Amino acid sequence: MTQLSEQEIIRREKLQELHKLGIDPYPAAEYPVNDTTVNILENYTEENKDKFQEVCLAGRIMSVRDMGKAAFAVLQDSVGRIQIYIKRDEICPGEDKSLYDVVFKKLLDHGDIIGVKGYAFITKTGATSIHAREITLLSKSLRPLPVVKAREGEVFDEVTDPEFKYRQRYADLVINPGVKDVFIKRTKIMQTIRDFYNNLGYLEVETPILQAIPGGATARPFITHHNALDIPLYLRIANELYLKRLIVGGFEGVYEFAKDFRNEGMDRTHNPEFTVMEMYAAYKDYEWMMKTTETLLEKVAIALHGTTEVPVGEKVIDFKAPFRRVTMYDAIKEHTGFDITGMDEAQLREVCKQLGIHVDAKYGKSKLIDEIFGEKCEAHYVQPTFIIDYPVEMSPLTKKHRSKEGLVERFELIVNGKEIANAYSELNDPLDQRERFEEQVKLMERGDDEAMYIDYDFLRALEYGMPPTSGIGIGIDRLTMLMTNQPSIQDVLFFPQMKPEQV
């Protein structure tokens, strides 16, 4: 059992004192909050003070300045902070002054959640504040918050320890003012995307997370077991094949914000659980999808920043459409000097050797090309760039290029050196798709644990006929990193995956 600190012991003693005084430190009754700190700070004036005579707020005590028979405290609610003026004789109008002298001054702590009823006013120093008529303890905090020092409008000792921030996000949200804004913007990004596709008439749907076959991408899955059916099941690595089944079923366009899971490494741009928005539109191709994606991301940037120019570190990334387009082979030739067009596996291995890229013996052509591009090319594309026309070996679910032998109609959107989106003209030839799946099985037999399984039910669906379709997956976590100028995926996830805590 974790040993309690001195402060934690003292707070538990205060809890017992509150009980002895007949004060419930965790009352169940509704508290009638009717305003917010931000609304009062932004809208209160001496001219309209009549509107702010019956204010009721609730939040955490963040600091107290004791002046004997009166005190100033800072109250933080869900949107901001405001100063509270508490006068002993007003909250204790009778002879019994224990609510102020004992409860407020001795038994309440920073981090405690209280309710305050009173009226707004402006102090002699010009600070909009709340004059308390009544205070109520709503929740006693038994663990002290880390102390964050701040001047007016400036935090200068913000808690930045990643171990604390990511493991105790609940406390991080309380004490670090800018953290909540990142997640509010994340929601705004998703809402902008949702509104965009809804306006096109497309339907938001849900598909299974537990799947009998981990299809729709090349990745190592998480495996679990269903006891009642006595079968293995997989957490989905993608929702692509289920969404395309819905296109077969007659929907013109569908999209889903999906939680996907891949049993792979963790770094600043990868978390084993992540969010992808996938969308599929009938009677469209990858050319249409590029134009649509440009328009969408331009709208997202403007919705968050009021401009297409977004600061990312020391760079400024411009999401103004149109985006640059570069073929996969041209990108590799430009940044390595090698033209890999038509190369077989042995030749690609020799290229990797000359470039100093270590590759596993089990890798086929697709993985070798992917390694070359990832190691030598990807980082060069800072401004939004569509990398288009991939080799067929890299894209088992993609339609063959209509005019370029050996290629497929696929693009990846690279921004700030990282993939943000992946899209195809979808393969709808069931016989071709079966052959592609069979090629993946051969890779699996060679030891590639990221190769695709054969999804026979999906093949059956294609045999009923799927119209020409284009699909895209957009990484919501990476897009949020860009749009909120965050260096790590952990900074845009409320609760990123971490090693178990040592207790």
Binding site per annotation, positions for Mg(2+) = 412, 419
Strands 418-425 and 253-261: unpaired
The annotation places the binding site at 412, 419
* Interatomic CA distance for residues 256 and 248, integer angstroms: 16
Exposed/middle/buried for residue 16 (C-beta within 10 Å: 0-12, 13-18, 19+): exposed
* Interatomic CA distance for residues 349 and 353, integer angstroms: 6
- First CA to last CA distance, the chain: 7
User: 334 and 387 in contact (C-beta within 8 Å)?
Assistant: no
Q: What is the rounded (10 degree) CA torsion for 115, 120, 121, 125?
A: 50
User: 166 and 498 in contact (C-beta within 8 Å)?
Assistant: yes
Residue with tokens 């914000």, as numbered in its chain? 257
User: 59 and 113 in contact (C-beta within 8 Å)?
Assistant: yes
User: How is residue 174 written in tokens?
Assistant: 């309380």
* Interatomic CA distance for residues 103 and 300, integer angstroms: 49
Helices vs strands, H then E, count in the chain: 15, 20
User: How is residue 47 written in tokens?
Assistant: 């001219």
Three-state secondary structure along 56-103?
EEEEEEEEEEECCCEEEEEEECCCCEEEEEEEHHHHCCCCCCHHHHHH
User: 321 and 295 in contact (C-beta within 8 Å)?
Assistant: yes
* Interatomic CA distance for residues 41 and 84, integer angstroms: 12
Q: Which residue type does 272 have?
A: P
Residues with Cβ < 8 Å from 408, sequence gap 6 or more?
A: 389, 390, 391, 392, 394, 395, 398, 399, 400, 401, 424, 425
* Interatomic CA distance for residues 267 and 264, integer angstroms: 10
User: 274 and 209 in contact (C-beta within 8 Å)?
Assistant: no
SS3 (DSSP) at 234: strand
User: How many Cα atoms sit within 13 Å of 264 on the Cβ side?
Assistant: 16
* Interatomic CA distance for residues 318 and 402, integer angstroms: 31
Write the DSSP symbol of residue 307.
Answer: S
User: How is residue 312 written in tokens?
Assistant: 């990312």
Classify 396 in phi/psi space as left (phi over 0), alpha (psi -120 to 50) or beta: alpha
User: How is residue 221 written in tokens?
Assistant: 């899955």
